[in-house]
Amino acid sequence: MLLQGKKAVIFGLANNRSIAYGIARAFKDNGAEIALTWPSEAIKKRVDPLAEELGAAFTMPCDVTSDAEIASAAQTVKEQWGTVDILVHAVAFANREDLQGRYIDTSRDGFALALNISAYSLVALAKAFEPLYSPEASVITLTYYGGEKVITNYNVMGVAKAALEASVRYLAYDLGQKGVRINAISAGPIKTLAASGIGGFGKILSHIEKHSPLRRNVTIENVGDTALYLASHLAAGQTGGILYVDSGYNTSGTQLGDA
């Protein structure tokens, strides 16, 4: 029970196939008390049964594009728990038309939307919850290799993930002064609701199976276990970093076959 007695707030759980669900399950199975958020009534209808399944202490609304809702979520956590030990940021969004074709065709509004929801929201949440962090609290966010290298059709989301990863490093310096850690998990492609909007996603999955060192795709359980590590005392000396959970694909260069 690595997280016995710990309190975790998870932003971005959409369904039982999402990476956030894998993280929530790992946390719950290891003794953590969890709270979940939802950005709209439509998502709330999906979150409520999952919250019941996971035994969540409470759920609350939070549209991360709204500073008022972020502040309200922090106030709710303060009233319910007083402090928080773990904050998980599993939030990302870009318009579907910006996740296909050429990056150069990204609109100004589409760029601003993707960066606001997928990158700035981490900064906003980290600050809003700053007064509530317990000693040695852990903040975890989710990124992807497309923030470092060009991935077909990832486009503006890759730029957003690059901004997110830079934010992790700067936030690590700010939060570290109070003993709070922040890290990112770079997960390999997984069939989630968010991934469904990326053009040619099935081909990306097939490519990973063929070319990653482990010759397989990863699961939400794999990512959940890594988040469990980062949230626990086992990662007490780790902050500002990116942990890859991608079957080793990030280590691969040009592949010429098995011969």
pLDDT digits (tens, 9 = 90+) for 168-196: 999 999 999 999 999 999 999 887 656 65
231 located within any domain? yes
- pTM for this predicted structure: 0.94
Structural domain for 114, as ranges: 7-248
Q: Answer yes or no: are the C-beta atoms of 51 and 36 closer than 8 Å.
A: yes
Q: Answer yes or no: are the C-beta atoms of 48 and 75 closer than 8 Å.
A: no
State both tokens at 94.
């870009």
Q: What is the CA radius of gyration of the chain?
A: 18
Below-50 pLDDT ranges, the chain: 259
User: Rounded to an integer, what distance in angstroms lies between the CA atom of residue 206 and that of residue 152?
Assistant: 14
Helix (H, G, I), strand (E, B) or coil at 112: helix
127 located within any domain? yes
Q: What is the pLDDT of residue 81?
A: 98
Provide the CATH number for the domain around residue 79. 3.40.50.720
Kindly list the distances between the CA atom of residue 202 and the CA atoms of 192, 208, 209, in Å, as whole numbers in the listed order.
12, 10, 11
Helix (H, G, I), strand (E, B) or coil at 214: coil
34 located within any domain? yes
Long-range contacts of 46-52 (CB under 8 A, 24+ apart): 46/14, 46/15, 47/13, 47/14, 50/13, 50/15, 50/16, 50/21, 50/24
Q: What is the pLDDT of residue 101?
A: 92
User: Rounded to an integer, what distance in angstroms lies between the CA atom of residue 119 and that of residue 163?
Assistant: 6
Q: What is the pLDDT of residue 208?
A: 83
- Give the residue numbers marked as catalytic: 144, 154
Kindly list the distances between the CA atom of residue 160 and the CA atoms of 102, 104, 143, 195, 209, in Å, as whole numbers in the listed order.
16, 15, 9, 15, 26
The closest of 242, 50, 88 to 165, measured between CA atoms, is: 242
258 located within any domain? no
> 58 pairs with which residues across the strands?
35
256 located within any domain? no
Q: What is the pLDDT of residue 259?
A: 44
152 located within any domain? yes
180 located within any domain? yes
Tokens 């029970």 correspond to what residue? 1
How many domains is the chain built from?
A: 1
Kindly list the distances between the CA atom of residue 250 and the CA atoms of 197, 227, 245, in Å, as whole numbers in the listed order.
22, 19, 9
253 located within any domain? no
